Structure 1
Amino acid sequence: MTSADPRISSVRLARLGTRYPRTVGRNARLGSHGGGPDSDVAVLVTDDGRTGWGLVEGPPGDVSRVVGRRLSELVDPAVGVLDPSDRWLDIALHDLLGVVHGAPVHALLGSRGTTDVEVYDGALYFDDLDPQESPRGVDVLLDECRADAALGFRDFKLKIGRGNRWMDRAAGDARDVDVTRAVRDAFPDARILVDANDGYDLDGFLAYLDAVVDVGLYWVEEPFLDDPGDLKALRAWLDERSPGTRVAEGETSPDVDALLPVAAGGAIDVLLMDVMSFGLTAWRGLMPQLVEAGVHASPHAWGRPLKTRYAAHLAAGLGNVDVVEGVPGEVAGVDPALLLPRDGVLRLDDAPGFGLPLPDDAHLRPVG
């Protein structure tokens, strides 16, 4: 007989491989992102044999705090994980909660958004600069957009800021413009987002915007290091020249308490804290404040396709999210159809938890 409030009988840590469809190159701050990371996951098993699992971000916490305790002592359907010390299991506990209640995570979160979640392609990096001895140029990015469109993506986020580290400033800025315009020409109906990873200053970024203003950017992400005055100046420029373009901030080392008043004042339109490192429970507490302030959300999900699935459940559950970040790639033992969009949309169903069957032991490798 199954229990409405089972005890955790075991916590298993394992490693799961991700593979991108290609090597992902540099951005404005970092070198090559490689061919796909291995990820740590936690598998929770109850005393009546039910299972919940999910990614773990950072070092594991104290397993002894969890084993033997009832699920209700660890996670509350209304708020999430109860003790911050257990938030390293945020995803796995939410998955198990859904399994025990026979409900998808998006329903546990309130079903405030649509289950047809729009997803953009976040995998377009500086591959035009590689290989270093014979750079491939702008055309390779168009080829990558076409390949990702064949996977189901319809909208594209372009990394910009080549002049920050990898090219002469003027030449790098010019290449950013060329890439943006080339993708718009090749995909006239796509939403185009750009992410500078803080690779510009205000004046340089306004010059870039001036050169692409007719492109109709959907959003600009982390254009420069956070500065309330600069963000206000950027929003004012956009209000005059491209009012539909949103300003997205908050991925890199976010000081949420500092960003909130800037966003509430109108200088930031979308907050981006990561679905894992910030966490699902933290997002549950923050989202009502954003709704009240008129600020949208789009939890950062780059790096692991599983994170896109988690962010989609957050969007469908909490609402106030218009689009989430997609990560082209495959996860060992996971059906790709559960991770990739179709015609730009990831459609969630009513499968319990995050709707991801646990990969078998052939794919879950022991940690250590």
Structure 2
Amino acid sequence: MTQVLPVLTGLDTTGDRMGLMPTSDPTIARVDLVDLPTRYPRTVGRNARLSSHGSGGTSRVAILRTDTARTGWGLVEQAPAGDWDGLVVGRAVSELIDPESGIREDALGFLDVPLHDLLGQVLDQPVHAVLGSRGETTVEVYDGAIYFDDLDPDDDPRGGAVLLDQCRADAALGYRAFKLKIGRGHRWLDRAAGDRRDIEITRAVRDAFPTAKILVDANDGYDLDGIRRYLEAVADVGLYWVEEPFTDDADDLAELRAQLDAISPATLIAEGETDPDVASLLPIAGRGHLDVLLMDVMSFGLSPWRRILPTLVQLGVSASPHAWGRPLKTIYAAHLAAGLGNVAIVEGVPGVTDGVDTSAHVFADGRMTLSERPGFGLPVPRT
């Protein structure tokens, strides 16, 4: 049975801030969990801390079906096993998600993305409109897939030329900005040799792509003195940002910001991907020693991002939700950017998810233009 519940839309007979007419409040009738193969265009190698990242793996999605034939779906993490009755099945959409703030219960965090997609379907609005349309619907995207493939295979390393080939291949896919992994001396090479290789690769990519934005990500693979030496050596490269240079430390981040202000003032410091302690990062950002926060679009979640973005705006700090691992995450991050604003660039994951048609979103010349279709603009996957 379908009810009309104003709590879902926050509407009266004159409509609301999105200009929507009152709508029904369907009930979740069924939940399906499906694993979809994900394929990168190549095997992705090591970073400063982890070994090979493989060729894509699988992406688990939840498909939420309602009693009114509305369907929402999306990636999930740590979905519970067992009976979904009571938790989701049999409950009205308005009980589960609030258009103004997101999921209503922490226990539903694993369904943050599917519920936002379903909400968009019910309201007949793209997610970026549900979130407020504060940003542009054409979003800059960087290539996040340039790892330590120069070190592979162990018995005959390919060297730095392979990374230039990969940048060229990804440029052919449409990317115009590249994030380079650095920190080879943390685990894989002698410290001095690894640091030299980081510098050589950074400079080689700049030489090959003189107009590209270059970002670097150390995955906490340096200490303060080491990253300062690296930055001195590449100061003329004009890095867009340096990400997670070392384990979070307020004093070290203050010193790093002071150094960058002196040698490369436009270079940003980005933090918050790995086990983020957001409460401790906010004061550092508020003092001007962090420029971008990176919490993952999935493990942190869309709803927490909705809650924290106004604080970041007040602090003058940008957002760029981490999206590495699965190509669908880039689309979610782009909707968040277009909906909430205050996001200059998002992480791209070259690759495809089998059974998913992403063609409504147009990616060209380093930018993704989002669809105006309801939800995330992605038809229910073929399984």
TM-score category of the 2 structures, normalised to the smaller one:
over 0.9
- 1:57 equivalenced with 2:77 (yes/no): yes
- 2:118 alignment partner AA: L
TM-score (norm 2): 0.93
Structure 1, residues 276-331: CA drift from partner, whole Å, max 9, x if none?
A: 00000000000000001100000000000000000000000000000000000011
Q: Where does residue 62 of structure 2 map in the other structure?
A: 42
Residue among 25, 28, 32 paired with 1:5: 25
Tell me, in whole angstroms, the C-alpha distance in 2 between the residues paired with 1:338 and 1:213: 40
Deviation of the 1:338 alpha carbon: 5.0
Judging changes above 3 Å, is the alpha-carbon distance between structure 1 residues 39 and 214 closer, same or farther for their aligned structure 2 residues? same
8 Å CA contact 2:175–2:364 kept in 1: the answer is yes
8 Å CA contact 1:37–1:303 kept in 2: the answer is no
Deviation of the 1:358 alpha carbon: 1.0
- 1:353 equivalenced with 2:370 (yes/no): no
Deviation of the 1:337 alpha carbon: 3.6
Tell me, in whole angstroms, the C-alpha distance in 1 between the residues paired with 2:34 and 2:361: 20
Q: Where does residue 89 of structure 1 map in the other structure?
A: 111
Tell me, in whole angstroms, the C-alpha distance in 2 between the residues paired with 1:356 and 1:114: 19
Judging changes above 3 Å, is the alpha-carbon distance between structure 1 residues 340 and 134 closer, same or farther for their aligned structure 2 residues? farther
Residue among 289, 295, 302 paired with 1:267: 289
Measured on the aligned residues, the alpha-carbon RMSD in Å equals 1.2
- 1:240 equivalenced with 2:269 (yes/no): no
Tell me, in whole angstroms, the C-alpha distance in 2 between the residues paired with 1:35 and 1:340: 24
Q: How many residues align?
A: 361
- 1:30 equivalenced with 2:50 (yes/no): yes
Residue among 286, 294, 318 paired with 2:316: 294
- Bigger shift: residues 59-68 or 312-321: 59-68
- Bigger shift: residues 351-360 or 340-349: 340-349
Tell me, in whole angstroms, the C-alpha distance in 1 between the residues paired with 2:333 and 2:24: 27
TM-score (norm 1): 0.96
- 1:75 equivalenced with 2:97 (yes/no): yes
- 2:174 alignment partner AA: G
Tell me, in whole angstroms, the C-alpha distance in 2 between the residues paired with 1:338 and 1:239: 41
Tell me, in whole angstroms, the C-alpha distance in 1 between the residues paired with 2:84 and 2:226: 49
SS of aligned partner of 2:235? helix
Deviant stretches of 4+, over 6 Å: none
Q: Where does residue 317 of structure 1 map in the other structure?
A: 339
Q: Where does residue 185 of structure 2 map in the other structure?
A: 163
Q: Which has the higher contact order (CA 8 A, sep 6+)?
A: 1
Residue among 328, 342, 354 paired with 1:306: 328
Q: Which runs of 5+ in 1 are unaligned?
A: 362-368
Structure 1, residues 123-163: CA drift from partner, whole Å, max 9, x if none?
A: 00000000111000010000000000111111000000000
Q: Which runs of 5+ in 2 are unaligned?
A: 3-22
SS of aligned partner of 1:353? coil
- 1:175 equivalenced with 2:197 (yes/no): yes
Q: Where does residue 302 of structure 2 map in the other structure?
A: 280
Tell me, in whole angstroms, the C-alpha distance in 1 between the residues paired with 2:163 and 2:369: 27
- 2:239 alignment partner AA: L
- 1:237 alignment partner AA: Q
Deviation of the 1:19 alpha carbon: 0.3
8 Å CA contact 1:305–1:339 kept in 2: the answer is no
Deviation of the 1:333 alpha carbon: 1.3
8 Å CA contact 1:122–1:156 kept in 2: the answer is yes
Q: Where does residue 276 of structure 2 map in the other structure?
A: 254
8 Å CA contact 2:59–2:353 kept in 1: the answer is no
8 Å CA contact 2:203–2:234 kept in 1: the answer is yes
Deviation of the 1:340 alpha carbon: 7.0
